[in-house]
Amino acid sequence: MVWLIGDKGMLGSEIARQLTENKIQWIGSDREVDITNSSELRKFASSHGPAANTTGLTVRKRKVPEKITWVINCAAYTAVDKSESEPDLAESLNAEGPLNIARVAREIGAKLIHISTDYVFNGNGKVPYTEEDPKDPIGVYGKTKAEGERQIEKEMTLYYIIRTAWLYGFDGKNFVYTMTKAMNTRDSVKVVNDQKGTPTCAVDLAEAIVKIIDSSDKAPFLFGKKSALPYGIYHFTNQGETTWFEFCNKIYEYGKKYGTITKDCVIEPCLTEDYPTDAKRPQYSVLSKDKIKMGLKIKIPSWEESLEKFIKSPRFEPK
């Protein structure tokens, strides 16, 4: 059974949907089980696993709960700019939270899938970052997420850390929804054109996560060892690279095509320095996906293909 932490968030709710669709048993928690509080996490784990049945009595009619074998952590402090003025809160959610979760996962013998970010890199690169490239975050959010990765690596071995970037999904505030609303109400918008990265549809990322679980659970034993995806850090975004300006142009193009944008709007490119934010953003944050593509034997759709599917979906509902 899977324990999905952060199941009400943008990525978490998509994973929840896909776990159900794939008939994978799961239980979820969000704010009500605070990841910064280890005893709340332990209490939840023990009330939802076989450990709950510690009476020593034979329970005839009651179904003994299935063991939690996977923990997925999607809970995090994700407000990149706000984290600059709330570093302690960001640290407790993004670094102490993952440490607490890793501890509990290890105690109950479960494997952990934890979500991290391209912001662990400084963005000075010119070619896609690999999993082995050194971490060098430039802001509070990236620093705390990098620390969260370190805590997990120190605490346990049965983990997958998946770094993603520029995420959007059906259930949550994101760039695609924000720009769709803006272009439906304004005559012009200015969008940064000197930061490069790759948009990621939560549907595709959730599919990869479900595949990790499914392929590991079904992996055959070879020479006494399960031939599942090796544990460690992986990168997952859609394929290709773009800027926020080009991304916005595609949102406009598909929005016009599928009727989610109903008026004309001029999209103007601008520089990062013209649009000051509290947190510094990496200039280049394209991630190499070779490791996960080879390990899971998957093809990842281009960011344009996934964006088009997202915008034309009946689930598209700007928040």
Ligand X SMILES: NC(=O)c1ccc[n+]([C@@H]2O[C@H](COP(=O)([O-])OP(=O)(O)OC[C@H]3O[C@@H](n4cnc5c(N)ncnc54)[C@H](OP(=O)(O)O)[C@@H]3O)[C@@H](O)[C@H]2O)c1
Contact set with ligand X (CB under 6 A): 6, 8-12, 30-31, 34-36, 74-76, 78, 93, 115, 117, 145, 164-167, 172
Which amino acid is it at 122? N
Q: How far is the CA of 293 from the CAs of 130, 207, 235, 288, in angstroms?
A: 13, 13, 9, 10
CB proximity list for 293: less than 8 A, separation 6 or greater: 299, 300
Q: Confirm if 122 and 196 have CB atoms less than 8 A apart.
A: no
Distances (CA, A) of 92 to 100, 154, 245: 10, 17, 33
Considering the complex, what minimum distance in angstroms separates the CB of residue 211 from ligand X? 17
- Report the Cα 59 to chain-centroid distance in Å: 39
Q: Which is nearer to ligand X, 167 or 265 (CB)?
A: 167
CB of residue 37 vs ligand X: minimum separation in angstroms? 8
Least separation in angstroms between residue 245's CB and ligand X is 17
The residue number with the shortest CB distance to ligand X is 9
Rounded distance, CA 195 to CA 193, Å? 6
Long-range contacts of 295-298 (CB under 8 A, 24+ apart): 295/229, 295/230, 295/234, 296/208, 296/211, 296/212, 296/215, 296/229, 298/208, 298/211
16 or 115: whose CB is closer to ligand X?
115
Judged by CB, which is closer to ligand X: 80, or 110? 80
Per-residue tokens: 12: 């978490």
For CA atoms 7, 292, 204, 172, give the dihedral sign. positive
- Classified as helix, coil or strand, 248 is helix
Q: Which residue lies nearer to ligand X by CB, 19 or 115?
A: 115
Smallest gap from Cβ 8 to ligand X, in A, equals: 4
Minimal distance, residue 230 CB to ligand X, in Å: 22
Find the shortest distance in angstroms from Cβ 287 to ligand X: 10
Where are the strands (E) in 118-178, listed by range? 159-164, 167-168
Q: Which is nearer to ligand X, 36 or 239 (CB)?
A: 36
27 vs 35, beta carbon nearer ligand X = 35
Q: Which two tokens stand for residue 245?
A: 């300006």
- Catalytic pick from 119, 141, 252, 284? 141
Residue found by looking up tokens 């649009």 in the block = 275
Name the token pair of 224. 């006494």
Q: Is 159 a catalytic residue?
A: no
What residues are annotated to the active site?
141
